[in-house]
């Protein structure tokens, strides 16, 4: 108990120190943002990222070779068994222009569980993943507070929100200590009713007021939950938006496979306005032959980024 309290105090101190650095850098980012806004943001670089299963190749090395040929600069591995794979990633990425963009989930249990043991399981496994993510210099680790199927869950009340923010702050402070972040992901109602909008995730980040807690937007989920991609990203702002997922908008397939529905320009416009420096990462399958659909998707996204 005493040890936990000391850890809490220690991590609170780390959070406060880094938060003040964060505020300063936010002011700088804000100035940049205003300058970018005037110039039309045409110069903001698009950093594309793949998950391990997105590209083509039977080994990690083959996959990374394939990604490099397409100019992909980020890799988003799953969080399962991450600690055991640090060496593997370190060696495979050595000398390449590809960095770890984010770690996708991989934790057990869930933070909104009624059962304290299930919540603890989530805390413990998330901390293992966050520590490994830090070693891999990942920008963050993605977390969903609770999926629809995870029951029994705490009711959707102000008290639960306050409690969730306590849990997220503990993880956010831990993330900061490991030089990474915790990234809240809103899903669509079919997967998780609790957190569905980017603006809601951002307001949780603001209330937590911990520099280690961030949020993201996923075009696939946003298609179902947001009236405006642009409004959603601007609602998070450069202070909180840390990662973006992309997929086709009807079947969560390769961007472009759903035809005209796969328009991301409105959202990209907001990312450029925010001078977004993080990654746009593929999280999707492919209906067609990946030898065709993957390069076509990369081309489409780059064209739309230019137009935004």
List the one residue from 28, 227, 260, 289 that touches a copy of itself (CB under 8 A).
227
Cis preceding-peptide flag for 14 (omega within 30 of 0): no
Residue closer to a copy of itself by CB (options 137, 156) is 156
Q: What is the smallest separation between the CB atom of 203 and a copy of itself, expressed in angstroms?
A: 6
CA–CA gap between residue 308 and residue 304 (Å, rounded): 6
Q: Is 156 left (phi over 0), alpha (psi -120 to 50) or beta?
A: beta
Q: How far is CA 110 from CA 29, 150, 233, in A?
A: 33, 8, 26
Question: Which of the ranges 7-15, 48-56, 232-240, 248-256 carries the binding residues for a copy of itself, by CB under 8 A?
Answer: 232-240
Q: What is the smallest separation between the CB atom of 16 and a copy of itself, expressed in angstroms?
A: 21
Residue 267 near residue 229, CB atoms below 8 Å: yes
Looking at the DSSP bridge assignments, the partners of residue 99 are 74
Q: What is the smallest separation between the CB atom of 96 and a copy of itself, expressed in angstroms?
A: 35
Residue closer to a copy of itself by CB (options 85, 161) is 161
Question: Which of the ranges 40-48, 95-103, 126-134, 203-211 carries the binding residues for a copy of itself, by CB under 8 A?
Answer: 203-211
In 3D space, the residue among 125, 59, 135, 131 whose CA is nearest the CA of residue 92 turns out to be 59
- With binding defined as CB under 8 A, does residue 89 bind a copy of itself? no
- With binding defined as CB under 8 A, does residue 165 bind a copy of itself? no
Q: How far is CA 61 from CA 47, 98, 290, in A?
A: 20, 12, 18
**Directed axis angle between helix 86-93 and helix 60-69, to 10°?**
40
List the one residue from 50, 219, 240, 279 that touches a copy of itself (CB under 8 A).
240
Q: How far is CA 202 from CA 154, 188, 268, 273, in A?
A: 21, 16, 18, 17
List the one residue from 112, 144, 232, 298 that touches a copy of itself (CB under 8 A).
232
Q: What is the smallest separation between the CB atom of 202 and a copy of itself, expressed in angstroms?
A: 4
List the one residue from 193, 287, 290, 296 that touches a copy of itself (CB under 8 A).
193
List the one residue from 200, 257, 262, 283 that touches a copy of itself (CB under 8 A).
200
- With binding defined as CB under 8 A, does residue 147 bind a copy of itself? no
Looking at the DSSP bridge assignments, the partners of residue 74 are 49, 99
Residues near a copy of itself (CB under 8 A): 155-158, 161, 189, 193, 196-197, 199-200, 202-203, 205-206, 225-228, 230-237, 239-240
């Amino acid at each position: 108990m005493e040890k936990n309290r000391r850890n809490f105090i220690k991590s609170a101190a780390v959070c406060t120190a880094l938060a003040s650095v964060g505020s300063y850098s936010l002011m700088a980012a804000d100035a940049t943002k205003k300058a970018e806004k005037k110039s039309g943001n045409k110069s903001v670089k698009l950093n594309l990222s793949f998950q391990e299963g997105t590209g083509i190749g039977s080994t990690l090395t083959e996959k990374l070779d394939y990604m490099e040929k397409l100019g992909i600069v980020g890799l988003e591995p799953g969080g399962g068994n991450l600690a055991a794979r640090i060496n593997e990633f370190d060696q495979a990425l050595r000398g390449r222009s590809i960095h770890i963009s984010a770690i996708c989930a991989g934790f057990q249990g869930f933070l909104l569980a009624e059962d304290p043991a299930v919540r603890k399981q989530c805390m413990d496994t998330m901390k293992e993943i966050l520590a490994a993510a830090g070693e891999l210099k990942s920008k963050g680790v993605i977390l969903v507070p609770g999926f629809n199927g995870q029951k029994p869950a705490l009711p959707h009340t102000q008290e639960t929100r306050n409690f969730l923010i306590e849990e997220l702050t503990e993880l956010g402070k831990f993330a900061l200590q490991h030089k990474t972040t915790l990234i809240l992901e809103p899903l669509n109602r079919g997967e998780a009713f609790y957190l569905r909008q980017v603006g809601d995730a951002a307001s949780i980040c603001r209330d937590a007021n911990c520099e280690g807690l961030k949020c993201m937007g996923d075009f696939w989920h946003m298609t179902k939950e947001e009236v405006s991609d642009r409004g959603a990203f601007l609602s998070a702002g450069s202070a909180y938006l840390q990662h973006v997922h992309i997929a086709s908008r009807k079947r969560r397939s390769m961007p472009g496979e759903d035809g005209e529905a796969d328009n991301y320009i409105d959202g990209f416009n907001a990312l450029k306005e925010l001078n977004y420096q993080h990654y746009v990462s593929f999280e999707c399958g492919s209906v067609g032959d990946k030898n065709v659909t993957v390069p076509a998707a990369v081309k489409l996204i780059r064209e739309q980024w230019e137009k935004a």
